[in-house]
Amino acid sequence: MRLVLCPYIIRPMNAEIISIGTELLLGHIVNTNTAFISQKLAEIGIDVYHQSVVGDNPKRIAESINKAASRSDIIITTGGLGPTVDDVTIETIASLLHKKLILNKTILKDLKDYFKLRRIKVPQESMRQAYIPEGIKWIRNKVGSAPALIADYKGKVIICLPGPPRELNRLVEDDIIPYVKKISGAPWVIRSRTIKIVGGAESQVNGKVKDLLALKPPTTVGIYAKLGEVELKIMTKDKSAVHAARSIARVENKIRARLKDQIFGCDDETIEGSVARLLTGKRMTIAVAESCTGGLVSDRLTDVPGSSKYFIMGLAAYSNDIKVNLLGVSPAAIQKYGAVSKIVAFQMAKGARFLACTDIGIGITGLAGPGGGTRSKPVGLVYIALVSGKKSIVKECRFSGSRKEIKFQASQAVLDLVRRQL
* Interaction residues for a copy of itself, span 138-157 (CB under 8 A): 143
**Which residue of 97, 112, 153, 202 would you call a contact of a copy of itself, by CB under 8 A?**
202
Taking the complex as a whole, the smallest distance from the CB of residue 306 to a copy of itself amounts, in Å, to 7
Among 12, 44, 45, 53, binds a copy of itself (CB under 8 A): 53
3-state secondary structure of 140: coil
> What whole-number distance in Å separates Cα of residue 3 and Cα of residue 355?
68
Determine the 3-state secondary structure of 364 from DSSP: strand
Which residue type sits at 279?
A: L
Query: Which lies closer to a copy of itself via its Cβ, residue 24 or residue 150?
Result: 24
Q: Minimum CB separation from a copy of itself for residue 254, in Å?
A: 17
Question: In the chain, what's the furthest Cα-to-Cα distance?
Answer: 83
Residue closer to a copy of itself, measured from CB, 48 or 136:
48
Which window, 4-12, 80-88, 251-259, 414-422, contacts a copy of itself (CB under 8 A)?
80-88
| Contact stretch for a copy of itself (CB under 8 A) within 93-101, 237-245, 249-257, 292-300 | 292-300
Under a CB-based contact definition with an 8 Å cutoff, are residues 205 and 230 in contact? yes
Query: Per CB under 8 A, does 280 bind a copy of itself?
Result: no
CB of 79 to a copy of itself, least distance (A): 12
374 forms part of the interface with a copy of itself (CB under 8 A): no
- Which residues inside 159-198 make contact with a copy of itself, applying CB under 8 A? 164, 166
Instruction: Give the strand pairing for 14-20 and 131-133.
Output: unpaired
The dihedral built from the CA positions of residue 32, 37, 43 and 46, taken in this order, carries a sign that is negative
Q: Quick check: helix, strand or coil at residue 391?
A: coil
Stretch 240-279 residues interacting with a copy of itself (CB under 8 A): none
| DSSP secondary structure code for residue 215 in this structure | P
Residue 124: Cβ within 10 Å count: 8
> Please, which of residues 314-373 interact with a copy of itself by CB under 8 A?
314-319, 321-322, 326, 355-357, 368-371
- 321 to each of 291, 318, 336, 349, 363, how far by Cα in Å? 12, 9, 16, 16, 16
Query: What is the SS3 assignment for 190?
Result: strand
CB of 135 to a copy of itself, least distance (A): 28
Contacts of 305 (CB under 8 A, 6+ apart): none
Q: Does 282 bind a copy of itself (CB under 8 A)?
A: no
Mask for 209-238, x = binds a copy of itself (CB under 8 A):
-x--xx-------xxxx-x-----x-x---
The C-alpha angle 382, 385, 391, rounded to 5 degrees, equals: 155
Q: Which is nearer to a copy of itself, 134 or 396 (CB)?
A: 396
Nearest CA among 149, 145, 136 for reference residue 176: 149
Binding mask 10-29 for a copy of itself (x = CB under 8 A): ------------xxxxxxxx
87 vs 238, beta carbon nearer a copy of itself: 87
Which of these segments, 30-38, 151-159, 258-266, 274-282, binds a copy of itself (CB under 8 A)? 30-38
